[in-house]
Amino acid sequence: MADSAETVLNLPLDALHRRLGARMVAFAGYAMPIQYDGEFGGIIAEHLWTRSHAGLFDVSHMGQVLVPLAQDKALEALLPGDITGLATGALRYSLLLDAAGGILDDLMVTRRGEDLYLVVNGAVKAADIAHLRSAGITCDYRDDWALLALQGPEAVAVMERLVPGVSELRFMRSGGFDWQGVPLWISRSGYTGEDGVEISAPAAAVGALAEALLAHPEVKPIGLGARDSLRLEAGLPLYGHDLDPGTNPIEAGLAFAISKRRKLEGGFPGAAVIIDQLHNGAARKRVGLAVDGKLPAREGAPVFAGDRAVGTVTSGGFAPSLGAPIAMAYVATDCATDGTPLEIEVRGKRLMARVVPMPFKAKNYVRA
């Protein structure tokens, strides 16, 4: 969906965002809050609040899709993960691949009672649904449901007050809950590197739920700007920037999304290319870069090893938790070892950088 005046849609919480002082931007076809102005707001403040308390994100632009459980084998044929063996209530990160092994999207798959619940990226949800349907898969696109993410070390405690039992969920597990007669689907997951939950709720009721969450002093509204800096610190790729059809899972460092059984059996799009690279390596790799100084390196900046161009930055910015700029880039494999010194060209100048492990900041998931 194009970001233009003709196609920008409003989220179910649009009025609430504006009342809270949100600065709205077009993203994935929707008007979305990039940050909240006022005494508290600003990307750095919102980022640090999420790291220490609980941040509420509106991610209703994402696509929520239901596939009949009986079609688990058909869905598995398009993904490299073990979908047929997924336990009820379990989430699995996976990848929608093209015939060459290129990444069409990254997504979450959850097995529920009678269906598979997919959350796909907002910018490509229409293309994803068309791709699934072209393979004979029945897709029920639930545009009448909204999606919130409550993230941070105090998020689950707040959610437990409203919906008892949520705290019993383990990381990457989910279940159905009731809040004041409103059905919710809640997973212990997120995109910030912090503990937290994602909450699927009827669009008609999500305003009341958001207000109830924001009534807790631990919770502040958080915009897209901080969501991006949080996921960057956590080393999490963003589709359309760090992932695209020209990238495969091995280059992207996402081999974990290929289950052991599928590595042996294959049977997914691009399996020959991907399995070969799994055993023999890829020509380039996604790496983390610590950047010297204060100037951030942005997407598209070329990366050099001496006079040799070896890669390109795909995500970059200032890391509030670290007080320094960081970046992700694809670089030639011979330059991808931790500690390798590199240079990034920004505004005609070379910034010194070095390859470092990701995540840049340790993740705080609660797995027990």
Which CATH number is 9-59+144-233's, of 3.40.50.2300, 3.30.70.260, 1.10.287.3510, 3.30.1360.120? 3.30.1360.120
- CATH code assigned to 283-356: 2.40.30.110
* Residue 368, pLDDT score: 67
Distances (CA, A) of 240 to 105, 123, 246: 8, 8, 10
Where do you find CATH 3.30.1360.120 in the chain?
9-59+144-233
Instruction: Fill in the amino acid letter for 210.
Output: A
| pTM, rounded to two decimals | 0.96
For 199, other C-beta atoms within 10 Å of its C-beta total 26
* Residue 1, pLDDT score: 34
Reply yes or no: is the peptide bond before residue 325 cis, omega within 30 of 0.
no
Residues with Cβ within 8 Å of 102's Cβ and at least 6 positions away in sequence, in order, are 244, 245, 246, 247, 248, 270
Quick check: 315 and 241 in contact, CB under 8 A? Answer: yes
Distance CA 238, CA 191 (A): 10
Distance CA 23, CA 34 (A): 6
- Which residues, given as ranges, of the chain have pLDDT below 50? 1-5
Where do you find CATH 2.40.30.110 in the chain?
283-356
**301-360: pLDDT as tens digits:** 999 999 999 999 999 999 999 999 999 999 999 999 999 999 999 999 999 999 999 999
Distance CA 85, CA 268 (A): 16
* Residue 355, pLDDT score: 98
Helix (H) or strand (E) holding 217: none
